[in-house]
Amino acid sequence: MLKLFLDSPEDIPWDALLFVTGDINYGGRVTDDNDRRCLMSTLNKYCCMDSLRDDYKYSPSGMYYAPADGKAEVYRDYIDSLPLGADPEIFGMHGNANITYEAQESNKIIETVLSIQPRVASGGGGLTPDEIVLEKAKEFKERLPEELVPSSGLKELFVRSSEGLIPSLSTVLL
């Protein structure tokens, strides 16, 4: 449909393009009304007559734009110049949105660290969580079979191929 719209001999039917893209192609996947409004606002910013101008910028800083027609190297250079992390402005948000995001991520990390920290056992003489884990590890280690020594096994199981690899079974056994 996009190709059909863009190849039409008349002017590009922007309203139809937005309707097909926003309401038909993606609309069925967007269930929240606020998300739909966000989708349509974003589409209006990128799918408009102004976006065809060479000086059209997608963000206030002017960092994000569609490079003018040129060789592939022009596009590669532009892409290489973009920051690795997406600034909030590319999503139409204020720079403070990043501060909120980073604060939320920091809180999640702190909550996770606190949730896995060992708890102090009460004075009832029981084992602490760390002591329980160490005791289990000791039990598991005692139940392990003896280590397989290649020199005491079947020699043909450890013959290396021309690439220097041993058979899969031997790798698993080791």
Condensed to tens digits (0 to 9), the pLDDT of residues 37-78 reads 888 888 888 888 888 888 888 888 888 888 888 889 999 999
Domain check: are 5 and 41 in the same one?
yes
> Among 34, 69, 96, where does a domain finish?
96
58 Cβ contact partners less than 8 Å away, ≥ 6 residues apart: 45, 46, 51, 64, 65, 66, 90
Rounded Cα gap, residues 105 and 69, in angstroms? 40
- Domains of the chain: total: 3
Are residue 70 and residue 31 in the same domain, yes or no? no
Domain that includes residue 43, residue range: 1-52
Same domain as 37, residue 71: no
45-54, 118-127, 150-159: lowest mean pLDDT where? 118-127
- The CA distance from 53 to 24, in Å, is 27
Determine the pLDDT at residue 46. Answer: 85
Name the pTM for this structure: 0.48
Q: Which two tokens stand for residue 18?
A: 């937005």
Contact 91, 98 (CB under 8 A): no
14 part of a folded domain: yes
48, 3: one domain: yes
- Strands (E) located in the chain: none
